[in-house]
Amino acid sequence: MPDRSSVVISLSDCIAQYDAHLLKIRGLSKSTRNLHRHVVHMLLCSSFPTGDIAWSTFCFGDVVQFVTTEFQRLTSRATQRVWLMVLRSFLRYLAAHEHISGGWDAALPSIANRQHVQLPRGLTQQQVDALWTASEGSKPRDLRNRALFLLFLRLGLRTEEVASLVPGDIDWSAGNLKVRSAKTTRVRTLPLAQDVGEALVAYLRSLHRRPVRLFDPARKPPIPEQRYEVYVRNCVYYLFERAGIRDRGPHSLRHTLATEMVGKGATFKAVSDVLGHKSITTTLIYAKLDLEALKQVALPWPGGAR
């Protein structure tokens, strides 16, 4: 390993280089990289208050002190697991570039994972019916809400996936919808159910112009990327409010579809393919572990495993 005393870098340069690694080497989405930058920035500010990083003075005790201090503030086990994941990633990055010795990541503590103790809460049939009623009407706003409601409920899309949809993603002749996910960096094609297609047609015909995205905020361009997702999320929360549902959001519609598929006997493979899960571990939230069924989920991702 080279002499670490000669390695000095500014905090901003270090974070920029790590962010480039996350994007180009690991292919992480912008939101995930934002989380990594936040945690790493806090760690480096704690260890190097002046903003000048000298790796020769960086020791594992600095990481331990940082984790101990922050976890007194962050009491959520889920948040602690995420922060430890980020820290392990950063420590492996530093070790790969010979800024620190290897093995620091393995020395960090583990937080028990209880994410599969119970299923995520979907919606009851009564709540689904209430949302259907709340989305009725012939006004452009109602047609928009009905289209959004069915995209989430029938296809189980994520908010960012709906926000990124453009008119060209719909193949009307084949009855398919192309879905891009920034979270998994994957593209998948889903069949467009008849009621979803009819709702989209009614909504698009109500518009006075061809939209850039399927769901455009009512403001002049340029529109920041994040604004599209905020707009879609707010529209769905508005629909939930109209339906008298105040403790759920767009993701509960995704859970509703997955739970319904499992209840009707769908395989893990089918649920994983529809929801676009990158890891089968995520799909197992919706069902008990079945080793025979697990074998069916060995679907290779385009470009190889990551």
Give DSSP secondary structure letters for 81-117. HHHHHHHHHHHHHHHHTTSS-TTHHHHS------TTS
The candidate with the shortest Cα–Cα distance to 152, out of 120, 188, 122, 182, is: 122
Shared domain for 270 and 134, answered yes or no, is yes
Torsion over CA: 228, 233, 237, 239 (sign): positive
- 274 and 211 within one domain: yes
Nearest to 207 by CA among 198, 193, 218: 218
| Residues 203 and 96 occupy one common structural domain | no
- Tens-level pLDDT at each residue, the chain (306 residues): 445 445 689 999 999 999 999 999 989 888 999 999 999 999 999 999 999 999 999 998 899 889 989 988 888 888 888 999 999 999 999 999 999 988 898 888 776 555 544 556 788 999 999 999 999 999 999 999 999 999 999 998 989 999 999 999 999 999 999 998 876 677 889 999 899 999 999 999 999 888 889 998 876 666 777 888 999 999 999 999 999 998 888 989 988 888 777 767 777 677 778 888 766 566 656 544 333 333 444 444 444 433
Check 144, 248, 254, 255 and give the catalytic one. Answer: 254
Q: Domain holding 221: CATH number?
A: 1.10.443.10
Asked whether residue 132 is domain-assigned, the answer is yes
* Domain match, 195 and 140 both: yes
Structural domains counted in the chain: 2
CATH of the domain at 19: 1.10.150
- Which one of 46, 77, 107 terminates a domain? 107
**Structural domain contains residue 35:** yes
Please identify which residue in the block is written with the tokens 């984790």.
Answer: 67
Domain contains 137: yes
| Residue 305 forms part of a structural domain | no
SS3 assignment, position 66: helix
Dihedral of CA 277/279/284/285: which sign? negative
pTM for the structure as a whole: 0.56
**Which residue is catalytic, options 183, 231, 237, 269?**
183
Q: Is 251 a catalytic residue?
A: yes
Instruction: Identify any residues that bridge with 285 across adjacent strands, giving them in sequence order.
Output: none
Same domain assignment for residues 208 and 164: yes
Active site residue 158: yes
Residues 144 and 256 in one domain: yes
Quote the tokens at residue 12.
Answer: 């901003």
Angle between helix 30-47 and 60-73 (nearest 10): 110
Print the domain residue range for 23: 4-107
Catalytically annotated residue among 158, 231, 248, 255:
158
On whether residue 303 sits in a domain, the answer given is no
Confirm whether 286 is a catalytic residue.
yes
- DSSP-H helix ranges across the chain: 11-24, 30-47, 60-73, 77-96, 104-107, 125-134, 140-155, 159-163, 194-205, 225-242, 250-263, 268-275, 280-283, 291-294
Q: Does 261 fall in a domain? A: yes
54 forms beta bridges with: 8
- Residue 135 maps to a domain: yes
What Rg value do the Cα atoms of the chain yield, rounded? 23
Cis peptide before 222 (omega within 30 of 0): yes
65 and 92 in one domain?
yes
Residue 161 maps to a domain: yes
142, 188: one domain: yes
List of residues 6+ apart from 239 with CB closer than 8 A: 131, 134, 135, 145, 148, 149
Closest CA to 147 of 93, 107, 205, 186: 205
The Cα angle at residue 182 between residues 296 and 175, in degrees rounded to 5: 65
Decide: 148 and 238 in contact? Cβ < 8 Å: no
Q: How far is residue 153's CA from residue 250's CA, in Å, rounded to a whole number? A: 9
Instruction: For residues 163 and 23, state if they share a domain.
Output: no
Our answer to whether residue 233 is catalytic in this structure is no
**Which of 81, 107, 133 is the C-terminal boundary of a domain?**
107
Q: What is the largest CA-CA distance in the chain?
A: 71
Conformation bin of residue 32: beta by default, left when phi > 0, alpha when psi is -120 to 50: alpha
If asked whether residues 76 and 179 sit together in one domain, one would say: no
Please confirm, yes or no, whether 220 is among the known catalytic residues: no
Residue with tokens 């960096």: 185
Task: Answer yes or no: do 292 and 184 share one domain.
Answer: yes
By the 8 A CB rule, do 145 and 159 touch? no
Domain end position, chosen among 107, 138, 164: 107
Residues 96 and 242 in one domain: no
